[in-house]
Structure 1
Amino acid sequence: MDSLSPARLDDPLAPAREATAEMLKERQHNYSLPQPFYNDERLFALDMQEIFEKEWLFAGMTSEIPAKGNFMTLEVGDNPVVIVRGNDGEVHAFHNVCRHRGSRLCVTDKGKVAKLVCPYHQWTYELDGRLLFAGTEMGQEFNLADHGLKPVQVRTGGGFIFVSLADEAPEIDGFLETLDHYLAPYDMENLKVAVESSIVEQCNWKLVLENNRECYHCNGAHPELLNSLQEFDDTDDPRATPAYKELVARKQADWEAQCVPYKLTRLDRRNRLTRTPLLDGAESMTMDGKRACQKLMGQLQSADLGSLRILHLPNSWNHFMGDHALVFRVLPLGPQRTVVTTKWLVHKDAVEGVDYDPEQMRKVWDATNDQDRRLAEENQRGINSKSYQPGPYSETYEYGVIDFINWYSERMLENLGHSQPDLQLANG
């Protein structure tokens, strides 16, 4: 082994690991995190190692790679990953790194191939990762079987694809089964991406998630979204009004009759699913509340299904309505840079220009994403000040943020080899 290989070097982040664990153990609960968690290079490196390289990450949808040879790529920090539909119809994931000299194999966001071929020297891999060709120049003693692609753990459920770079990933079976149940009416294999956008936010990834986990800011920031969205997403919300609770009861009776799942389900702090009504009379998250796609998803018979909200930490939130769905993916790029990808999904047979207008479909969330970007970036600028100190969260308006920060703290401590007493879930 090379004397300078990572396995034989002292861990340059060792001091940061101990300092991070101490800050998390000593932090004031229900307050924002100390400044380094939002802007320090070393702590960002720990976030990547201990969260994004160890947890299950939302990568994309199975409907995006419908046939053998279809692939998609993503970058998890410095780790390029390729996800491909194999000859067996199964979804496979690999480190997108050739075993020859380390070049990336697939260099586009998505595509279709017969084999995975390195563009550098044409080493060729089967869709299951086996090396098929390396050229006679490698010599007679060269063993193809020793140089297959390195696999990445991948699981699917409810049409979602999750990957984990960990050798031993956390348990996810319960969540996948729950996704299968909630999304069965949508016929997830028969959806397509109608519109996709990615924006880079000049802020730490945790600020993106914190902003998403509360609607405290919605009245002052999101006029387009509030044309259709309720500020609270279930009757456990301590702010929920009697009128909202009455609407929920009425809509839940309709959903029960249609056999559409709706009950609030939590799987620890990491995953949360609930169906909640939109404003009374609104069918979809559009400027006028009317459906964005005339062809409903799956076998659904009604567009008036509210929004099925799905949270998966650390990097995704989602809205499923009767006519279309929105899926969001968050990936860190640096201590103060994060890419947020939004995909609008419709029935695969929906015809652009006939069943839906992409520009009309995306207006609300294009505006909302840009508004959230500005809010998070201003949040980052303030946090960078020498005057910043952790501030208190509202237990009624920001309970979702409290749960996210508690989840993050618990996972960091556990992955760093430390422990702390379990914290109770916040209300809602």
Structure 2
Amino acid sequence: MSDLLEHAQDQQRQAVREAAARLLEARSPGYTLPQPFYNDQRLFDLDMKEIFEREWLFAGLSSEIPLKGNFMTMDVGNSPIIIVRGDNGAIHAFHNVCRHRGSRLCSTERGKVAKLVCGYHKWTYELDGRLLFAGSDMGTTFDTSEYGLHPVHVRSAGGMLFINLAEQPENCEPFFKTLEFYLKPYDMENVKVAASSSIIEEGNWKLVIENNRECYHCDGSHPELLNTLQEFDDTDDPRATEAYKALVAKKQADWDAEKVPYQLVRFGRRNRMTRTPLLEGTVSMTTDGTPACKKLLGRLQSPDMGSLRILNLPNSWNHFMGDHAVVFQVDPIGPLKTRVTTKWLVHKDAVEGVDYDLAKLRKVWDATNDQDRQLVEENQRGVNSSAYQPGPYSATFEFGVVDFVDWYAERMQEALKGQQEPHLQLA
């Protein structure tokens, strides 16, 4: 009976893969995706398997686990993960699953432990994942060396932590090395999280990313953000004005003097980083454009660093300024639900109420996040309609969205290569 059930499940999964491959093959480039990619549970499960369990994901900051035994947890779909600091500063990541009966080891978002101990039956693991104790009841032939925690690939790059659940992850060393170079002036080991928020957006994760990858909507939706934000990422933007290009040249001369990198660097469609000025006369993403924190990050001597923008698909975008940074993490929960976590970073020695005011630090992005939540949720409600059809993107205003959707489609098609003609309809 179990073999028959497993065979039926395999057939169903294969049918979904075949149907997804057909939909991607038939899609119109430069248009939004077919409806099932935004609201179908089966395609959400496929996203988690072929995107989130294969790609390098932003997971947090090394400064959040500064000491031996400090840990943080996260979920990648149904897979709970733990990241922990071990001996000699080493950072390890594991599936947060006891090798005994599968219970989660750590149930809190963060904490500090001497050993990793399962609360169910007290199986005890070293911080490097080795099983140390399973109790005498397991018998004399039980070999603890065969029951260490299942490891997860983890990489610290410039103080940002990335994990990958694949057995053999894609080599992203050029991106990681460049990220280390761009973040070196910020001395990320010596920052702290001044504030953190997690909001639930009732929308598909791809709609969350699409919304982030364009500022077509900014003028009518983000008054607080546009007090300081340039709509252009760089001078390659087809809408970039001559005034903006002149400001970029002026600021790049200042940044050369500070010896901080600013050039636009792309790694395919997946990763990019660039430093771009804020509006002239402003230096920080605050409502009045003045610094949110008196104590600057790292070795920086001026707050006027513009915004170092870092994109890591599929789950993160970031803004690094002279006085503080704002980092974002996207975690899909279901086909119609996504968690967006925002962290505001300041120098670790900055004192709240002395060096920074928390309300001022948070105001712009708290407002912007809520505005984006409403936009994504309204987008999702419309996409769910029987009247929805893929619509055209603007090549001028939405080229970043086109890049994301093309990247997503290419990665999925690569994963689905060799599939047969579909025998299941998803749309």
Common fold: TM-score over 0.5: yes
Counterpart contact for 1:132–1:144, Cα < 8 Å: yes
Q: Could you list the runs of 5+ residues in structure 2 that have no partner in the other structure?
A: 420-427
Query: Which residue matches 1:107?
Result: 107
Q: Partners in 2 of 1:215 and 1:392 — Cα distance?
A: 16
Query: Which residue matches 2:379?
Result: 379
Q: Partners in 2 of 1:8 and 1:406 — Cα distance?
A: 32
Letter in 1 for 2:315: N
Is 1:31 aligned to residue 31 of structure 2? Answer: yes
Is 1:91 aligned to residue 68 of structure 2? Answer: no
Offset of 1:6 from its aligned partner?
Answer: 6.6
Query: Which residue matches 2:258?
Result: 258
Q: How does 1:25-424 map to 2 (within 5 A)?
A: 25-417=25-417
4+ residue stretches of structure 1 with deviation over 4 A?
Answer: 2-9
**Taking structure 1 as reference, are residues 319 and 7 closer, same or farther at Cα in structure 2, changes over 3 Å only?**
farther
Letter in 2 for 1:331: D
1:66-100 superposed Cα distances (whole Å, 9 cap, x missing partner): 11111000000000000001113111000000001
Q: Partners in 2 of 1:3 and 1:347 — Cα distance?
A: 57
- Secondary structure of the residue aligned to 2:333 is strand
**Taking structure 1 as reference, are residues 38 and 8 closer, same or farther at Cα in structure 2, changes over 3 Å only?**
closer
Q: Partners in 1 of 2:212 and 2:227 — Cα distance?
A: 18
Letter in 2 for 1:265: V
Q: Partners in 1 of 2:17 and 2:351 — Cα distance?
A: 52
1:149-199 superposed Cα distances (whole Å, 9 cap, x missing partner): 000111111111111111111111011101011011000111110000000
Q: Partners in 1 of 2:258 and 2:46 — Cα distance?
A: 46
Q: Which has the higher contact order (CA 8 A, sep 6+)?
A: 2
Q: Partners in 1 of 2:272 and 2:11 — Cα distance?
A: 36
- Secondary structure of the residue aligned to 2:332 is strand
**Residues paired across the two proteins, number:** 418
**Taking structure 1 as reference, are residues 4 and 260 closer, same or farther at Cα in structure 2, changes over 3 Å only?**
farther
- Secondary structure of the residue aligned to 1:229 is coil
Identity of aligned residues (%): 68
Q: Could you list the runs of 5+ residues in structure 1 that have no partner in the other structure?
A: 420-428
Offset of 1:116 from its aligned partner?
Answer: 0.4
Query: Which residue matches 1:422?
Result: none
Letter in 1 for 2:161: I
Offset of 1:352 from its aligned partner?
Answer: 1.0
Counterpart contact for 1:21–1:418, Cα < 8 Å: no
Letter in 2 for 1:358: L
Q: Partners in 2 of 1:418 and 1:189 — Cα distance?
A: 45
Q: Partners in 1 of 2:102 and 2:259 — Cα distance?
A: 50
- Secondary structure of the residue aligned to 1:13 is helix
Q: Partners in 1 of 2:10 and 2:44 — Cα distance?
A: 19
Q: Partners in 2 of 1:293 and 1:57 — Cα distance?
A: 29
1:114-168 superposed Cα distances (whole Å, 9 cap, x missing partner): 1000011111000000000111111111111111000011111111111111111
Letter in 2 for 1:326: V
- Secondary structure of the residue aligned to 2:414 is helix
Letter in 1 for 2:108: T
Q: Partners in 1 of 2:215 and 2:37 — Cα distance?
A: 23
Offset of 1:344 from its aligned partner?
Answer: 0.4
Letter in 1 for 2:40: D
Counterpart contact for 1:82–1:96, Cα < 8 Å: yes
- Secondary structure of the residue aligned to 1:10 is helix
Counterpart contact for 1:203–1:376, Cα < 8 Å: yes
1:35-82 superposed Cα distances (whole Å, 9 cap, x missing partner): 000000110010010000111110001111111111000000000000
CA RMSD of aligned residues (A): 1.4
Q: Partners in 2 of 1:413 and 1:20 — Cα distance?
A: 9
Normalising by structure 2, report the TM-score. 0.96
Q: Partners in 2 of 1:3 and 1:145 — Cα distance?
A: 31
Q: Partners in 2 of 1:382 and 1:344 — Cα distance?
A: 32
Q: Partners in 2 of 1:265 and 1:414 — Cα distance?
A: 24
**Taking structure 1 as reference, are residues 109 and 6 closer, same or farther at Cα in structure 2, changes over 3 Å only?**
farther
Letter in 2 for 1:108: T
Q: Partners in 2 of 1:78 and 1:256 — Cα distance?
A: 46
Letter in 1 for 2:195: V
**Taking structure 1 as reference, are residues 331 and 6 closer, same or farther at Cα in structure 2, changes over 3 Å only?**
farther
Q: Partners in 2 of 1:406 and 1:75 — Cα distance?
A: 26
Letter in 1 for 2:194: A
Q: Partners in 2 of 1:31 and 1:8 — Cα distance?
A: 35
Q: Partners in 2 of 1:256 and 1:88 — Cα distance?
A: 36
Letter in 1 for 2:387: S
Is 1:18 aligned to residue 18 of structure 2? Answer: yes
Offset of 1:5 from its aligned partner?
Answer: 9.8
